[in-house]
Amino acid sequence: MRIILLGPPGSGKGTQAQLLVQRYGIVQLSTGEMLRAAVAAGTPVGLKAKEIMAGGGLVPDDVVVGIISDRIDQPDAKNGFILDGFPRTVPQAEALDELLKRKHLKLDAVIELRVNESALLSRVETRVAQMRERGEEVRLDDTPEVLTKRLASYRSQTEPLIHYYSERRKLSTIDGMMAIEEVTRAIHRQLLALGAVEPKSHGKTHARSAAKAAPAKKAKAGKRAVAKPTKTAKKGAKSAKKAAKSVVKGPKKAAKKATKKTVKKAAKKTTKKTVKKGAKKAAKKVTKKRAKR
């Protein structure tokens, strides 16, 4: 991922760059910090930059582009980088486009942090006053006077970049006056929308696992409910079973009773008939015997 952070001095570009570095594992290419390091080291470029920076001016393009070109080639910039403080002008943006083209790299997004200049000046005045009270050294380029000049330079030279990147559909504008955390979240959402970063895979895995666990948990709960019915349910089930048994047993009992009655009646009838027939036969026999005499 390769992105540019745009915004006037004091808009929070450096702070957001550091947060992005921690989140995405990329490096911050801050021309301001690289130039300040050169000033502290007292190199020829540093001494030249010191004079320009103290007056609120801009360092020559060839110096800045050379620094960035060398930095991009370093191993830790392989996964991507954030450019903070560069480009500052349209010619620098064109030089950066050419540089990236030569290196076969693509610029993913340009994030503009839009802020209120009056509020920025008030912040710097407060910060400088607090630093002086604590006896800390105030940077030459971090005073209200220098900031006023830098803001004027930004309006005249850097603001045209908004149009430049907007035409190339690379620009995203975010309210830099929000709280730091809110600005960070807004940048992340924008990078997701542009496809510069992808949602974390472990978040998807977690969602899938939760989705699988939910039905399993529900089924388990259902199983427990069936395995351990209440006393009322047990009693009801027992009564229902008894009632069902009675319904089935009733007809059987009635049928058995009816059969016994029928057999008894038939036997009684048969016995009567047999006795009657036997008596009749015996009577006939006696009559015949008497007739012979």
CA distance 72 to 29: 8
For residue 24, pLDDT over 80 is answered with yes
For residue 214, pLDDT over 90 is answered with no
Q: Is 139 designated active site?
A: yes
Window from 53-57, 272-276, 277-281 with minimum mean pLDDT:
272-276
Q: Is 293 designated active site?
A: no
Quick check: helix, strand or coil at residue 139? coil
Q: Is 114 designated active site?
A: no
Residue 72 in contact with residue 109, Cβ under 8 Å? no
Confidence of residue 197 (pLDDT cuts 50, 70, 90): confident
Query: 207 pairs with which residues across the strands?
Result: none
For residue 97, pLDDT over 90 is answered with yes
Residue 188: partners with Cβ closer than 8 Å, 6 or more residues away: 23, 197
Q: Which helix (H) or strand (E) holds 102?
A: helix 90-102
User: Which residue do the tokens 């309006």 mark?
Assistant: 155
Q: Is 88 designated active site?
A: yes
More confident: 290 or 129? 129
Which of the 8 DSSP states describes residue 9? Answer: T
Confidence of residue 245 (pLDDT cuts 50, 70, 90): low
Quick check: helix, strand or coil at residue 31? helix
Q: Which of these is catalytic: 2, 36, 71, 88?
A: 88
- Residue-level pLDDT at 209: 41
Q: Which of these is catalytic: 114, 123, 127, 149?
A: 127
More confident: 253 or 62? 62
For residue 94, pLDDT over 80 is answered with yes
Residue 92 in contact with residue 65, Cβ under 8 Å? yes
**Cα-based angle 17, 136, 183 (whole degrees, multiple of 5):** 25
Quick check: helix, strand or coil at residue 25? coil
For residue 91, pLDDT over 60 is answered with yes
- Residue-level pLDDT at 218: 43
Confidence of residue 155 (pLDDT cuts 50, 70, 90): confident
Residue 82 in contact with residue 113, Cβ under 8 Å? no
Type of residue at 129: A
Q: Which of these is catalytic: 13, 36, 50, 71?
A: 13
Helix/strand number for the chain, H first, E second: 11, 5
Average pLDDT over residues 117-146: 83
Window from 25-34, 109-118, 124-133, 272-281 with minimum mean pLDDT:
272-281
Confidence of residue 222 (pLDDT cuts 50, 70, 90): very low
For residue 287, pLDDT over 90 is answered with no
Q: Report yes or no on whether pTM surpasses 0.85.
A: no
Give the tens place of pLDDT for each residue, 68-81. 887 888 898 888 99
- For residues 234-244, one letter each, b for 16 or more C-beta atoms within 10 angstroms of the residue's C-beta and e for the rest, the string is eeeeeeeeeee
Closest C-alpha to 159, from 259, 195, 150, 210: 150
For residue 63, pLDDT over 90 is answered with no
Please give the full DSSP string across 36-99, using - where no structure is assigned. HHHHHHT-HHHHHHHHHHHTT----HHHHHHHHHHHHTSGGGTT-EEEES---SHHHHHHHHHH
Pure H helices in 156-229 = 160-167, 180-194, 201-227
Q: Is 150 designated active site?
A: yes
| Most confident of the ranges 14-23, 36-45, 148-157, 258-267 | 14-23
Residue 114: partners with Cβ closer than 8 Å, 6 or more residues away: 7, 11, 173, 174, 175, 176, 177
Q: Which of these is catalytic: 114, 123, 139, 170?
A: 139
